[in-house]
């Protein structure tokens, strides 16, 4: 059977099951287009799947900027918000929050209160990636004053299926029910440059690809094959999800 014109050479494909007895498969709506064989993540509301663990939240700490007449430039997803400090941080934060509401689409900004006074909390409305940079008095202070985070959680691996459409897409589209394997054997998409050994611990990256590197990634199972050239020469490997 020739699936999408790719399997005439009888190669495996990312997202294909291995064996006939998968342990756990669930179906969850897609919040965006999702490729097969990727580690997928539940958004913060646990209502939809994402193809990556995006930094969809940010905290911007302006609490120490109490000197008047200093320039602040806050760039959010490519949109710059500029302000000049008044010496009263609550006034400055309120003004910046108002400007974000007016000028930055798809992002909600909330001013912190009590122990969080002087901070701005940003949330991506569609759970997508936030890109935030901060400049104060001409100096880039992003690394010390901006904290990015994600409230998404690992859900499993997107299972291959052949859509019954002419010129089938070869992926799940937004709002479509995604078949997700939580436990069992499945071929997965490898991160660039990864050549796992059989028996190595498998981790999923924030981009949904699989690796042997533990730092910053989520442990999900064990590699049961080394690197293979799958359909379309994609780099894949067999993993036992545990």
pLDDT tens track for 208-235: 999 999 999 999 999 999 998 866 567 9
Helix (H) or strand (E) holding 39: strand 39-42
- Distance of alpha carbon 195 from alpha carbon 27, whole angstroms: 30
**Both structure tokens of 136:** 């104060």
Based on the domain organization, do 73 and 193 belong to the same domain? no
Helix (H) or strand (E) holding 35: strand 34-35
- Distance of alpha carbon 112 from alpha carbon 116, whole angstroms: 5
Based on the domain organization, do 45 and 158 belong to the same domain? yes
**Both structure tokens of 70:** 């200093």
Q: Which domain holds residue 110?
A: 57-149
Number of domains in the chain: 2
Half-sphere exposure of 174 (CA within 13 A, CB side): 3
pLDDT digits (tens, 9 = 90+) for 153-203: 999 999 987 665 545 567 899 999 999 999 999 999 999 999 999 999 999
pLDDT band at 7; cut points 50, 70, 90: very low
Provide mean pLDDT across the span 140-156. Answer: 97
Based on the domain organization, do 158 and 236 belong to the same domain? yes
Based on the domain organization, do 95 and 142 belong to the same domain? yes
Based on the domain organization, do 63 and 137 belong to the same domain? yes
- Residue 217, domain member (yes or no): yes
Based on the domain organization, do 45 and 156 belong to the same domain? yes
Secondary structure of residue 14 in the 3-state scheme = coil
- Distance of alpha carbon 4 from alpha carbon 232, whole angstroms: 10
Based on the domain organization, do 211 and 186 belong to the same domain? yes
Based on the domain organization, do 141 and 164 belong to the same domain? no
- Residue 130, domain member (yes or no): yes
Domain C-terminal end among 127, 149, 171:
149
φ/ψ (deg, to 5) at 152: -75, 155
Helix (H) or strand (E) holding 99: helix 89-103
Report yes or no: 19 and 187 within 8 Å, Cβ to Cβ. no
**Gyration radius of the chain's alpha carbons:** 22
Lowest mean pLDDT among 80-84, 94-98, 158-162, 182-186: 158-162
Would you state the pLDDT for residue 2?
A: 44
Report yes or no: 28 and 200 within 8 Å, Cβ to Cβ. no
End-to-end Cα, the chain, rounded Å: 30
- Distance of alpha carbon 137 from alpha carbon 65, whole angstroms: 10
Beta-ladder partners of 111: 120
pTM of the model: 0.83
Based on the domain organization, do 138 and 76 belong to the same domain? yes
3-state helix, strand, coil in the chain (%, to 5): 10, 40, 50
Would you state the pLDDT for residue 39?
A: 96
């Amino acid at each position: 059977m020739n699936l999408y014109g790719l399997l005439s050479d009888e190669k495996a494909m990312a997202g294909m099951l291995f064996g006939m007895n998968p342990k756990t498969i669930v179906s969850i709506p897609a919040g965006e287009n999702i490729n097969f064989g990727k580690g997928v993540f539940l958004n913060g509301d646990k209502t939809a799947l994402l193809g990556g663990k995006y930094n969809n939240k940010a905290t911007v700490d302006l609490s120490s900027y109490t000197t008047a007449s200093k320039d602040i430039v806050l760039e959010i997803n490519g949109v710059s918000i500029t302000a000049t400090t008044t010496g009263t941080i609550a006034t400055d934060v309120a003004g910046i929050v108002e400007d974000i509401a007016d000028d930055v689409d798809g992002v909600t900004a909330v001013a912190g209160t009590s122990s969080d006074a002087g901070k701005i909390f940003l949330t991506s409305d569609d759970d997508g990636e936030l890109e935030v940079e901060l400049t104060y008095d001409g100096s880039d202070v992003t690394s010390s004053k901006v904290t990015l985070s994600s409230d998404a959680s690992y859900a499993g691996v997107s299972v291959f299926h052949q859509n019954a459409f002419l010129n089938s897409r070869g992926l799940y589209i937004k709002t479509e029910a995604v078949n997700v394997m939580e436990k069992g054997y499945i071929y997965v998409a490898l991160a660039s440059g990864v050549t796992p050994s059989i028996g190595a611990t498998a981790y999923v990256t924030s981009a949904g690809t699989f690796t042997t590197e533990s730092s910053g990634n989520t442990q999900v199972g064990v590699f049961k094959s080394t690197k293979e050239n799958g359909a379309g020469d994609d780099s894949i490997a067999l993993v036992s999800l545990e």
